[in-house]
């Protein structure tokens, strides 16, 4: 028997030392965010109450690369470079001639890709004199990542956890507290927004929109307190490009060139982190992979949303972002992939999609969990519900290759493990998981519900 | 800033291809297991109803090394070699001049060291024509490992999960089911043992002893069904030596030689897996580390037990094992480190301890969780409750080095992550964790409660 290599590892000395910014390599720049009052492009001063200047500069930089600070690299090295796996045993289970690779981010302290941006965000905030970071968390991945990151630089971390999640996922709270964060049920008595909601309903289950509003409200009141966001924004996508830069090196070590790159999209940061460095290579003519985003059927912002200016949050506090959106008041079905339940899509990914540089598809959740169980039994990793969307798309493609005999090279992002999401597997294995509602009425023209922006 | 290397990785080509058997290197052989009826040493035929001949041969082999089959190596490569970490950030948090390394087994499919033996046990059983493996699980680590292993070789896997654990840890059951096992609450209607217990109490909370009896009862009735055990026995310890063999290579790459090796002990397989290859080096005069076992104060078989022949299970179905024991009817306090709540200690480790080749200490659980939180915040990994005992001992030693100025090299086994044990962290962080009862009465002379064995 010839030994099959499963893992393609990098030494710590091969960890990327720069983040990659795709904007200057695109044929045109993405439309700017607009101030919701003036409808003019937002400037650094508009963002300064929430973010440190170094992150604001990264948000708008025209440079192709941004150096990663040594103090960030030192923390990245706790788990990075992350492994690239060849899914030999999955391929055998499917009987496909396709070669499937997955880049696994579940080795991080939070069990997902989120610390890739939480760590630099905490670092730049600490360096600018901030003492406390606030944020919201729904599924819990982002709150866990920021809790860990704040512990590295001596920052206090306050997390507003959506009430229903706080009540139903007490162990996610325990992880955040283990990393030193204080976790508050949202809506809370600590903010005007929260008090208003609690006055309406003392047992209000909360929502991500409300939790964002609470975290932003507290951050805006105090110069030593800032806010941190885990997806959507340019600087977040920038930080995640370490994923793709490593995968480029690892796939070269494996001696393969990708025909297809597949990632799941919610806000888009995991997808962009893997895909953008490969898109750079594609734009430069050095390879020609198809790049495919996979979104949940319940929340298909790319495949069924409008491309228009909309708010990033439900309450309408944020700048207006030009993006694919189902409308900021859209409430997705309560699927188990909580990290993908976002009404919009990162403006940068939306722009890349409009440029025709990538494609998108939507998958319903039972197909995702079918894929997850097949994957777990062959590869030994129980995936988070979010990347099961990408796995389902990989398996579709691998079975198409089985039918056609094509030996395609497929690369996907396994952005996290599902150890804190076993309730979803329990529902699936117990036959209680149902697919989302995907009627046309469900996604009726969001343009009628969008803010009016001229031009 | 000089980059500090955190991870010492091995290529898959550096994975050990042999397991190490310490027995021929010891000054004397351990006393044999005795048949409970005849009080004569058990022979292969006595064990054949439960185990395949290749495992029985490994149980009694006098060879120093046993080749690892290619089909086992191919599954090991899904996660092995596992990483060795230098705990730079923990050292900084403690302000110690000690150099702390930890070998991390939480990267495995089950999140612990257990698959190292579950995989070969499933392989040898499948090769001998067995179709089904039965086992018990308390905390859930072993059941998860065997469920995964059985999926690799097409075996059916039936797990009796202790009732209290089945009711209180539904997500552990979900993981086992995701890997394809069928999980039964113990006591069950499926066995005579179980029916008898349920007749006494229809809501019987079960115990590990009852679950073992049920799994053994079912395995003994059918030639195509065998039983698998996750610790204590020689062949289990043998399989775990891949941990120490890898760590030897990795520590050499780091340029260090250990002064102290620390591991937690329940049945002893994780401890032996790390320590025995280093003990080989010590016996050969190539290094001279202190080797230290750390057990819970609630279940101190090495430090407060008798060294005598006793049953391996509560019901008294197993051969008599010469081991350190608190008595087979001893019921430990319900501490959170469920994997360490075993009344006895592996006979091979007990023998090594009697030979004076290692030392032992006991630690209470609040000190363990203090250590766990310090570790999680600095190193980014939330440990399982079991290895927190070793971490507590490491931190004691590191602080002693801080006081003395010694630059000791400490190596420990971080045998698993705590993602399915967050209830324990929740209790600790909420101030509800209490230390165990450790009065002398608690561990009154077990000799009076042991089976009578002459000689």
Residues A140 and A171 sit within 8 Å (Cβ to Cβ): no
Find the length of chain B: 455
**Cα gap A204→B189, rounded to integer Å:** 44
- Reported as a single tens digit per residue, the pLDDT across A229-256 is 999 999 999 999 999 999 999 999 999 9
Q: Is B88 helix (H, G, I), strand (E, B) or coil?
A: helix
In a domain, B349, yes or no: yes
Which residues, in sequence order, are CB contacts of A411 under 8 Å at separation 6+? A101, A102, A103, A247, A251, A258, A260, A261, A262, A274, A278, A289
Q: Do B373 and A148 touch (CB under 8 A)?
A: no
Could you tell me the pLDDT band of residue A450, with boundaries at 50, 70 and 90? confident
pLDDT range class, residue B135, cuts 50, 70, 90: very high
Report the side by side order of strands in the sheet with A132-137. Answer: A182-186, A156-162, A132-137, A225-227
Say whether A85 sits in a helix, a strand or coil.
strand
Nearest to B6 among A78, A372, A417 (CB): A78
| pLDDT given at position B455 | 47
Nearest to B43 by CA among B55, B56, B30: B56
Residue B104 domain-assigned (yes or no): yes
Reported confidence tier of residue A2, pLDDT bands at 50, 70, 90: low
**Contact (CB, 8 A) for A173 and A137:** no
**What tens digit of pLDDT does each residue of B23-66 get?**
999 999 999 999 988 999 998 898 898 899 999 999 999 999 99
Phi, then psi, of A105 in degrees rounded to 5: -100, 0
Of B5, B115, B426, Cβ closest to residue A174: B426
Rounded to whole angstroms, the Cα distance separating A234 from A237 reads 5
Pick the closest to residue A16 from A220, A199, A273, A214 (CA basis): A273
Helical axes A53-60 vs A115-127, angle rounded to 10°: 130
Task: Report the pLDDT averaged over residues A143-159.
Answer: 98
Q: Do A177 and B3 touch (CB under 8 A)?
A: no
Q: Tell me which chain A residues have a C-beta less than 8 angstroms from the C-beta of B180.
A: 377
Which stretch of DSSP H or E encloses residue B8?
strand B7-8
Select from A393, A448, A388 the least CA-distant residue to A418.
A388
Considering only CB atoms, B174 lies closest to which of A79, A178, A426, namely A426
Q: Which long-range contacts (CB under 8 A, 24 or more apart) does B222-227 make?
A: B222/B132, B224/B129, B224/B130, B224/B131, B224/B132, B225/B130, B225/B131, B225/B132, B225/B133, B225/B134, B226/B50, B226/B51, B226/B52, B226/B125, B226/B130, B226/B132, B226/B133, B226/B134, B227/B50, B227/B51, B227/B133, B227/B134, B227/B135
Instruction: Decide if B226 is inside a domain.
Output: no
Q: What is the DSSP letter of B258?
A: -
What domain count does chain B have?
1
Nearest one of A59, A73, A48 to A23, comparing CA atoms: A59
* Whether A420 contacts chain B with CB within 8 A: yes
Name the packing angle between helices B115-127 and B141-152 (round to 10°).
40
Which residue of chain B has the CA closest to A3? B74
Count helices and strands (H / E) in chain A.
Answer: 17, 15
Widest distance between CA atoms in chain B = 68
- Round to whole Å and give the CA distance between B113 and B82: 10
**pLDDT confidence tier of residue A158, bands split at 50, 70 and 90:** very high
CATH number, residue A102: 3.40.50.1100
A385-420, pLDDT tens digit by residue? 999 999 999 999 999 999 999 999 999 999 999 999
Q: How far, CA to CA in Å, does B408 sit from each of B87, B93, B294, B387?
A: 13, 17, 18, 20
**Cβ atoms within 10 A of the Cβ of B170, count?**
12
Q: Which residue has the higher pLDDT, A299 or B390?
A: B390
Is the pLDDT at B393 greater than 60, yes or no? yes
- Which of B339, B326, B348 minimizes the C-alpha distance to B387? B339
3-state secondary structure B118-139: HHHHHHHHHHCCCCEEEEEECC
Mean pLDDT for A300-304 is 94
Q: Does residue A369 have a pLDDT over 80?
A: yes
Give yes or no for residue B274 having a pLDDT over 50: yes
Residue B170, pLDDT score? 82
Q: Which of A265, A242, A166, A243 is nearest to A211 (CA)?
A: A166
CB-CB contact of B240 with B270 (8 Å): yes
* Confidence label for A31 from pLDDT (cuts 50, 70 and 90): very high
Q: pLDDT by residue (tens digit) across A61-86?
A: 999 999 999 999 999 999 999 999 99
**Which of A10, A380, A429, A430 best probes binding to B when mutated, by most B CB atoms within 10 angstroms?**
A380
pLDDT in tens, B335-385: 787 788 888 999 999 999 999 999 999 999 999 999 999 999 999 999 999
Chain A residues within an 8 Å CB radius of B171: 422-423, 426
Q: What contacts A234, CB < 8 A, 6 or more positions away? A: A21, A23, A58, A59, A60, A347, A348
Provide the percentage of residues in chain A whose pLDDT is more than 70.
99
Within 8 A of A108 by CB-CB distance, chain B residues are 380
Give the whole-angstrom CA distance, residue A302 versus residue A292: 11
Which residue, among A419, A400, A425, A422, has the nearest Cα to A410 in the 3D structure? A400
Q: Which of B422, B425, B426, B427 to mutate to test the interface with A (most CBs of A within 10 A)?
A: B422
Backbone angles phi, psi at B413, to 5 degrees: -100, 115
Q: Is B381 an interface residue toward A (CB < 8 Å)?
A: yes
Question: Nearest CA to CA, how far is B388 from chain A (Å)?
Answer: 14
d(CA A127, CA A117): 15
| Residue A256, domain extent | 69-111+235-441
Return the closest-CA partner of residue A186 out of A218, A159, A163.
Answer: A163
Alpha helices in B86-241 (DSSP H): 88-94, 115-127, 141-152, 163-168, 170-178, 192-200, 208-220, 234-240
pLDDT band at A455 (very low <50, low <70, confident <90, very high): very low
| B222–A contact, CB cutoff 8 A | no
Q: Do the domain assignments include residue A368?
A: yes
A315-333 pLDDT per residue, tens: 777 899 999 999 988 877 7
In this prediction, residue B454 carries a pLDDT of 59
As a whole number of angstroms, the distance between CA A1 and CA B324 comes to: 43
Which pair of structure tokens corresponds to residue B204? Answer: 């019987």
Q: Which residues of chain A neighbour B16 with C-beta distances below 8 Å?
A: none
**What DSSP character marks residue A16?**
-
B163 touches B180 (CB < 8 A): no
pLDDT at B86: 98
B146-175 pLDDT, tens digit per residue, is 999 999 999 999 999 999 889 888 889 999
Span B198-247, pLDDT tens digits: 999 999 888 887 898 899 999 999 999 999 999 999 999 999 999 999 99
- Residue B437 tokens read as 């009862």
DSSP β-ladder status, B409-414 and B260-264: parallel
Whether residue A1 has pLDDT greater than 60: no
Residue A7's alpha-carbon distances to A78, A106, A290, in angstroms, are 18, 14, 24
Residues 235-274 on A with a CB inside 8 Å of B are: none
What's the first-to-final CA gap in chain A, in angstroms?
Answer: 65
What percentage of chain B carries pLDDT values higher than 90?
80
Task: Please say if the pLDDT value at position B312 is more than 90.
Answer: no
Q: Which residue has the tokens 């039918």?
A: A403
**Residue among B70, B108, B174 minimizing CB distance to A429:** B174
The two three-digit tokens of residue A117, written as one number: 């941006």
Residue A339 included in any domain: yes
User: In whole angstroms, what is the distance from residue A69 CA to residue A57 CA?
Assistant: 15
DSSP A320-368: EEEEEES-TT------S-GGG--SB--HHHHHHHHTTS-EEEEE-HHHH
Measured distance CA(B215)–CA(B132) in Å, rounded: 11
Mode of pairing for the β-strands spanning B65-67 and B84-86: unpaired
CA distance A152 to A76: 11
CA distance linking residue A329 with residue A446, whole number of Å:
9
Q: How far is B177 from chain A (nearest CA, A)?
A: 8
Asked if residue B178 is part of any domain, the answer here is no
Query: Is residue B2 pLDDT above 80, yes or no?
Result: no
Judge: B425–A178 Cβ closer than 8 Å, yes or no: yes
Question: B16: pLDDT confidence band, cut at 50, 70 and 90?
Answer: very high
Give dist(CA A320, CA B148) in Å, integer: 48
Secondary structure (DSSP) of B379-394? HS--B-TTTHHHHHHH
Q: Which of residues 161-180 of A touch B (CB under 8 A)?
A: 170-171, 173-175, 177-180
């Amino acid at each position: 028997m010839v030994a099959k290599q499963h893992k393609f590892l990098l030494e710590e000395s091969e960890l990327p030392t720069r983040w990659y910014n795709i904007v200057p390599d695109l044929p045109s720049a993405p439309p700017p965010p607009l101030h919701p009052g003036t409808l003019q492009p937002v400037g650094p001063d508009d963002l300064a109450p929430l973010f440190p200047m170094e992150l604001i500069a990264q948000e708008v930089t025209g440079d192709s690369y941004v150096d990663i600070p040594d103090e960030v690299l030192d923390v990245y090295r706790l788990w990075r470079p992350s492994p690239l796996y060849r899914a030999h045993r999955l391929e055998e289970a499917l009987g496909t001639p396709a070669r499937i690779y997955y880049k696994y981010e579940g080795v991080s302290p939070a069990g997902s890709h989120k610390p890739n941006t939480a760590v630099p965000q905490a670092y730049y905030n600490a360096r600018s004199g901030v003492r406390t970071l606030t944020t919201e968390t729904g599924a819990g991945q982002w709150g866990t990542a920021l809790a860990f990151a704040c512990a590295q630089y001596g920052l206090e971390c306050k997390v507003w956890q959506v009430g229903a999640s706080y009540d139903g996922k007490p162990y996610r709270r325990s992880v955040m507290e283990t990393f030193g964060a204080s976790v508050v049920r949202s809506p809370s008595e600590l903010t005007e927004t929260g008090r208003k909601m609690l006055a309406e309903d003392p047992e209000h289950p909360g929502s991500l929109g409300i939790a964002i509003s609470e975290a932003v409200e507290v951050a805006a009141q105090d110069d030593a307190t800032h806010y941190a966001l885990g997806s959507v924004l340019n600087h977040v996508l920038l930080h995640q490009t370490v994923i793709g830069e490593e995968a480029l090196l690892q796939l070269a070590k494996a001696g393969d060139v990708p025909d297809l790159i597949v990632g799941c999209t919610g806000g888009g940061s995991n997808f962009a982190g893997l895909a953008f460095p490969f898109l750079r290579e594609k734009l430069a003519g050095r390879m020609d992979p198809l790049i495919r985003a996979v979104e949940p059927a319940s929340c298909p912002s790319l495949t069924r949303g409008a491309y228009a200016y909309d708010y990033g949050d439900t309450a309408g506090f944020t700048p207006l972002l030009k993006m694919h959106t189902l409308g900021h008041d859209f409430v997705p079905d309560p699927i188990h992939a909580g990290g993908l339940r976002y009404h919009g899509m990162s403006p940068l990914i939306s722009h890349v999609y409009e440029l025709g540089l990538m494609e998108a598809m939507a998958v319903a959740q039972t197909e995702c969990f079918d894929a997850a169980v097949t994957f777990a039994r062959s590869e030994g990793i129980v995936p988070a519900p979010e990347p099961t969307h990408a796995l389902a798309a990989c398996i579709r493609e691998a079975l198409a290759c089985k039918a056609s005999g094509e030996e395609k090279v497929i690369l996907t992002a396994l952005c996290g493990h599902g150890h804190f999401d076993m309730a979803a597997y329990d529902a699936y294995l117990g036959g209680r998981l149902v697919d989302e509602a995907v009627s046309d009425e469900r996604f009726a023209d969001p343009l009628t519900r969008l803010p009016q922006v001229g031009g």
